[in-house]
Amino acid sequence: MVPLQNEVGEAVVTYGWYFLAAYVMLILGLGYMGYKKTDSQDDYATARGGYGFLALALAYAATVASGSTFMGIPGMAYDMGFKAGYYAMIYPIGIYFGMLFVARITKKVGDRFGSQSVPDFLGDRFQSPLLRLLAALLSLFLLFYIMSQVVAAGWMFDAILGVPYDVGIWLAGLLLLLYLTLGGSHADILTDAVQGAIMIGVMALIVVMFVVGWGFDGGAGAVNAALESDQQWSTHTNPDNPIFASWWVIFLLFIAHIGFTVQPHLGNKFFAIKGTQYMKKFMTVAAIVGMALPLMFLGGVLGAAQGLQLENPDAVIPMLFIETLPPIVAAFLGVAILSAIISTADGLIIAVSQIFANDLYRKTYVPWKGDDPEGPRVDQRTLWISRASTVIVTLVGVAAVMTPPQYLSVLLWVGIGGIISALSGPYFIGNFWEDTSKTAAIAAVLIGFGVYFVIHLGPQAGLYEGWYPYNENPFASTGIGFVVSCVVTYLVSRFTDPLPQSHLDKVFRPERATQADGGVTESQPTSESPDNH
């Protein structure tokens, strides 16, 4: 996409750089605050027990509402019309429905065992280093998610700041490294909370612009009338569109997103809340904000109705601002969307860095060598690996998207669909059913991922043609993988032995386990309960 060269475009670029400078100062300050809070590897990885419900709810919602929500989904709406609204409005319902099932127990058990990631949590829950390793390796697919955020940031630099895409993606990487390498999870949560509040304002403006029919006489009805017939709100499915080919694949989109919270960059957030007594407020606020933000898709519909001519559909929101709003407002909103993109990328990078530092090094390599994974030297070495991994993961994510993809929403699901298909069974079934066996959890990971690979990844890699629309629809393929993973977990558990009762007591009944160990209460500092909230 070529930046605007007229007077309006130049004014937007000028104001955009002013706002970007202010934003950089803000994140540097928050990054320094995070650095001051980071004394150990656990601080860097989880910010355990460091935040109240409001800040963490805003951070969680901002992390969920990524560059896909603010650019990718509006881009789909620009091309497909109101049908994209099914994706925009269904996906948060699935995500926050799934969160209700697992947030509280993930917090309690994760704090009790000192888990620092979702793969680590699964390894602790099932007493299985192999399961931890498999989950960690599969979680490396989050690199695709990181790539999609970098792409979105690159387009924002191009549209608002006049920086070519291939330069903008490197600037986005630099912004992330400015604060993440210092403050880790603390910096991630602090910046995301502020960015979440900004994102609410941007979403509200888009909704108002759509409702009043910005640029039209007649409100939202006039916007709908200006669309092509297959984009209007009376058209719900399209057999030629793999994302909305039928009501069945739309339903699978909902099923797929129930497992969305299994991703490490979201599961890690549960460890940061001050205590389980705040979980209800946290989940309520996060759900309300998170279900409102995808209304951004209405901006894509409005841009299509106005006839904006775009080289890349994902740029519809910044171009809508540039074309219809005063330059200073367009510039501010553009930088605000850039901050929204950054708010997801930072959590992803921290999560992937923990795969290398905690899951692969501290919890896998160190025990294999016969050393103590909880020793102070190992802790400091793990913290160093975390910071180094943050740099490497960011650079790899940027370098991988020198050529941008067509749709951000589809790119990010290439990776996370495999994670959800593999881990959902052990994570969801294992959190509620004590008799879930270690064998079942491992089988579900392998079979669930295998199903997703056969249905979607294989065709995407060009190995064979596949079955339409699943070969081209990662959401429907993930929905099937989610169901398979859960069913396999249940069925295999029925025919295999559960974990020892002593371990299950530590997971589900800590008061009984501590009494059996000599009457130590959970509130006392022990190796099994590092958090005293």
Query: Does residue 286 sit in helix, strand or coil?
Result: helix
Answer whether the bond into residue 469 is a cis peptide, omega within 30°.
yes
Distance CA 206, CA 163 (A): 25
Q: Which positions ≥6 away from 434 have C-beta within 8 Å? A: 498, 504, 507, 508
User: What is the CB-side half-sphere exposure of residue 206 using CA atoms within 13 A?
Assistant: 31
The angle at the Cα of 99, spanning 98 to 102, to the nearest 5 degrees, equals 95
C-alpha to C-alpha distances, 163 to 17, 170, 339, 400, nearest whole angstrom: 11, 11, 16, 19
Sign of CA dihedral 1, 141, 193, 302: positive
pLDDT averaged over 10-residue windows placed end to end, the chain, 533 residues: 53 89 86 84 83 91 81 89 91 92 88 87 93 91 83 82 88 83 81 86 93 89 90 88 91 92 85 87 92 93 91 85 89 83 80 88 88 85 88 89 65 80 95 93 96 91 89 91 97 95 86 55 38 36
Distance CA 355, CA 456 (A): 25
Residue recorded with tokens 């001051």: 36
Distance CA 223, CA 298 (A): 10
Sign of CA dihedral 343, 349, 352, 353: negative
What is the model's pLDDT at position 525? 36
Structure-block tokens of residue 270: 């549960």
What is the model's pLDDT at position 526? 36
Q: What is the DSSP letter of 499?
A: -
Q: Residue 456: how many CB atoms within 10 A of its CB?
A: 28
Q: Assess contact for 182 and 174: CB atoms under 8 A.
A: no
How many Å from the N-terminal Cα to the C-terminal Cα in the chain? 51
Helices 84-113, 247-258: inter-axial angle, 10-degree rounding: 20
Distance CA 189, CA 33 (A): 11
Helices 7-37, 142-161: inter-axial angle, 10-degree rounding: 140
Query: Does residue 451 sit in helix, strand or coil?
Result: helix
Q: What are the backbone angles phi and psi of residue 47, rounded to the nearest 5°?
A: 50, 45
Domains and CATH numbers, the chain: 53-512 (1.20.1730.10)
Distance CA 16, CA 328 (A): 8
Q: Assess contact for 498 and 435: CB atoms under 8 A.
A: yes
Q: What is the DSSP letter of 426?
A: I
Q: Assess contact for 160 and 5: CB atoms under 8 A.
A: no
User: What is the CB-side half-sphere exposure of residue 218 using CA atoms within 13 A?
Assistant: 8
- Let me know how long the chain is: 533
- Beta strands (DSSP E) in 28-115 are none
Structure-block tokens of residue 395: 């650079």
Query: Does residue 237 sit in helix, strand or coil?
Result: coil
Distance CA 308, CA 78 (A): 9
Which neighbouring-strand residues pair with 526? 529
Q: Is 370 exposed, middle or buried (0-12, 13-18, 19+ CB in 10 A)?
A: exposed
Sign of CA dihedral 71, 182, 123, 130: positive
Distance CA 66, CA 314 (A): 13
Q: What are the backbone angles phi and psi of residue 325, rounded to the nearest 5°?
A: -120, 160
Distance CA 426, CA 432 (A): 10
Q: What is the DSSP letter of 227?
A: S
- Please tell me whether the overall predicted TM-score, pTM, comes out greater than 0.85 for this model: no
Q: Assess contact for 172 and 38: CB atoms under 8 A.
A: no
Q: What is the DSSP letter of 2?
A: P
Distance CA 214, CA 324 (A): 8
What is the model's pLDDT at position 405? 62
Structure-block tokens of residue 327: 């330059």
Q: Is 277 exposed, middle or buried (0-12, 13-18, 19+ CB in 10 A)?
A: exposed
